[in-house]
Amino acid sequence: MNRIFAAFLLIAFATGAGRELTGTPGVMMAMSKAVIDASRAAVELALGLVGVMAFFLGLMKIAEQGGLLTGIARLIAPLMRRLFPEVPPQHPAMGAMIMNFSANLLGLGNAATPFGIRAMQELDRLNPHPGTATDAMVRFLAINTSGLALLPTGVIALRAAAGSSDPAAILPTTLFATTCATLAAVFLTPLFARFFPAPRIAPAPMSQPAQAQADEEAALAPLPRWAGWAAALSFVALIVASVRYGQIVSAWIVPSLIVAFIVYGLTRGVAVYESFVDGAKDGFQVALRIIPYLVAILAATALLRASGALPFFVALLAPITEPLGLPAEVLPMAILRPLSGSGAFALLADLLKDPSVGPDSYAGWLASTLQGSTETTFYVLAVYFGAVGIKKMRHAIAAGLTADLAGVAAAVFICSWLYPGAA
């Protein structure tokens, strides 16, 4: 990450200085303004997350004390054990990761972030090398950056506002693209790990209480098979309902989630108010902890855009990508998406409102699919790793960007196949 951050800044400065000295006045001034605005926006973004994180971390505490996270982890233990063999089956990290994945699947970005931070904190408790990302941390982060989602509500709403005849018609293309990106993250992350080995420092021996707890967790029996089938059928039913009644279902998700957690806590004898307040206390501390990481990423991205380096790179690639099905008007969004989610969303809004493109053209379909099926890789890196002080990211960036590339390729393929007449 040190080299990437330095490269962003040096490329931006070299590009901006070159343009300023060769007859494009005002570039350096624009870069100065951009870095200041981006730094301010990073702090505002982090502080804006305080309330959301405090609320959902409070709910997580209720679920944890009531045993819900352990129960969910036991329910899908076979799958999670294969994905995360380093994590004990009933460890709190399992439940937090499951809640994060579930929130992402349902398009609940605000809810997914607190769950993801909590999962990263729990994974860090198992980390024998503090400050260095473990294989489980990188795999969890790569799955997050692949943007696995069933219901991209924000993109659907944007398409509706742009006058699309069928705003939710991007659901199949989005599901295909995000599934391909997630599979790439799952299968390629172990390969990248071979080129970025963890430190060979002997980990500290596990204390007797911790060992006893791990043995007790490992000894817990899995739930009956019928429970797994019931959960799978419920999930399939939710997918069908989301696809068919997306906008109606999405409005019920967060309120239903709140009520479910509270009712579950009450039935399990949890002091829901005290537990909620105890969990919510972490929200402010986590937000403060991630501010430096957000400032670094957002400022570097803003400099690249203001200097003209990013537009130059887009113009360089456009002749290559257009024959492959990625038109020039969509390429800037595809490149910016891993760097800035808000920037990519703004580009999508402009594209869909453009009369020459529109939401129902091939470019509109493809851009909507890209926005709904990929995640802001560097933002996720900054927030999740920043929350636990990870500085040595190992293969996290390579895994995240590979998942992004797989998502872009899958989106181009499925949109070209399903909507050839719109190209």
**Among 287, 291, 363, residue whose Cα is nearest residue 322:** 363
* Residue 2 pLDDT exceeds 70: yes
Average pLDDT over residues 398-419: 87
Q: What pLDDT, on the 0 to 100 scale, is given for residue 123?
A: 92
* Contacts (Cβ under 8 Å, ≥6 apart) of 226: none
Cβ atoms of 95 and 64 closer than 8 Å: yes
Residue 151 pLDDT level (bands cut at 50, 70, 90) = low
Which pLDDT band holds residue 6 (cuts at 50, 70, 90)? Answer: confident
Q: Which residue reads 């990625």 in tokens? A: 326
At position 146, the amino acid (one-letter code) is S
Rg (CA), the chain: 22
Rounded to whole angstroms, how far apart are CA atoms 292 and 356? Answer: 41
Dihedral pair phi/psi, residue 392, rounded to 5°: -95, 100
Query: What would the mean pLDDT of 220-225 be, rounded to a whole number?
Result: 55
Give how many domains the chain has, as a whole number. Answer: 1
Q: Which amino acid is at 189?
A: T
Q: Return the percentage of the chain with pLDDT > 70, whole number.
A: 76
Q: Could you report the per-residue pLDDT of 308-340, keeping only the tens digit for each?
A: 887 788 788 878 888 888 888 888 878 878 876
Q: Nearest-CA neighbor of 5 among 333, 314, 381? A: 381
Give the contacts of 209 (CB within 8 A, at least 6 positions apart): none
In a domain, 131, yes or no: yes
- Residue 92: per-residue pLDDT: 82
Please check whether residue 76 is in contact with residue 222, taking contact to mean a CB–CB distance below 8 angstroms.
no
Give 201-220 pLDDT, tens digit per residue. Answer: 554 444 444 444 444 444 44
The pLDDT assigned to 207 comes to 44
pLDDT band at 14 (very low <50, low <70, confident <90, very high): very high
Specify if 361 maps to a domain.
Answer: yes
pLDDT band at 380 (very low <50, low <70, confident <90, very high): confident
What does pLDDT average to over the chain?
77
Phi, psi of 106 (to 5 degrees): -90, 5
What is the model's pLDDT at position 370?
87
| pLDDT value of position 224 | 62
Residue 208 lies in a domain: no
> Does residue 13 form part of some domain?
yes
Instruction: Find how far residue 6's CA is from the centre of its chain.
Output: 24
Query: Do the Cβ atoms of 68 and 261 come closer than 8 Å?
Result: yes
Q: DSSP letter string over 122-152?
A: HHHHT-SSTTB--HHHHHHHHHHHTT--S--
β-sheet bridge partners, residue 392: 132
Average pLDDT (65-78) is: 68
- pLDDT value at residue 139: 92
Mean pLDDT of 214-233: 55
287 belongs to a structural domain: yes
Q: How far does CA 416 lie from the centroid of its chain?
A: 26
In this predicted structure, what is the pLDDT of residue 208?
44
- In eight-state DSSP terms, residue 383 is I
* Residue range 373-396: mean pLDDT, rounded: 83
Residue 148 lies in a domain: yes
pLDDT for 217 equals 44
Our separate counts of H helices and E strands in the chain read 20, 0
Flag whether 387 is in a domain: yes
Check whether 239 has a pLDDT greater than 60.
no
202 is a domain residue: no
**Alpha-carbon gap, residue 405 to 374, rounded angstroms:** 9
Question: What integer pLDDT is reported at residue 422 of this predicted model?
Answer: 47
Question: What are the Cα distances from residue 238, in Å, to 150, 242, 387?
Answer: 10, 6, 32
pLDDT given for residue 225 in this prediction:
63
Q: Which helix (H) or strand (E) holds 344?
A: helix 341-353
Whole-number pLDDT of residue 253: 63
CB 368 within 8 A of CB 352: yes
Task: Assign 111 a pLDDT band (cuts: 50, 70, 90).
Answer: low
Q: Tokens standing for 379?
A: 């933002």
- Answer for the pair 284, 54: CB distance below 8 angstroms, yes or no: yes
- Residue 132 pairs with which residues in a beta bridge? 392
Of the two residues 296 and 224, the one the predictor is more confident about is: 296
Tell me, what's the pLDDT at 219?
40
Q: Is the pLDDT of residue 352 over 60?
A: yes
What is the predicted pLDDT for the residue at 109? Answer: 59
Task: Identify the weakest region by mean pLDDT among 98-112, 160-174, 258-272.
Answer: 98-112
86 token code pair: 């380093």
The pair of structure tokens assigned to 29 is 């001034």
The reported pLDDT for the residue numbered 209 is 46
The dihedrals phi and psi of 407, each to the nearest 5 degrees, come to -65, -40
Three-state DSSP state, 23: coil
Residue 112: domain span: 2-18+26-196+218-422
Tokens for 208, please give them. 């007797």
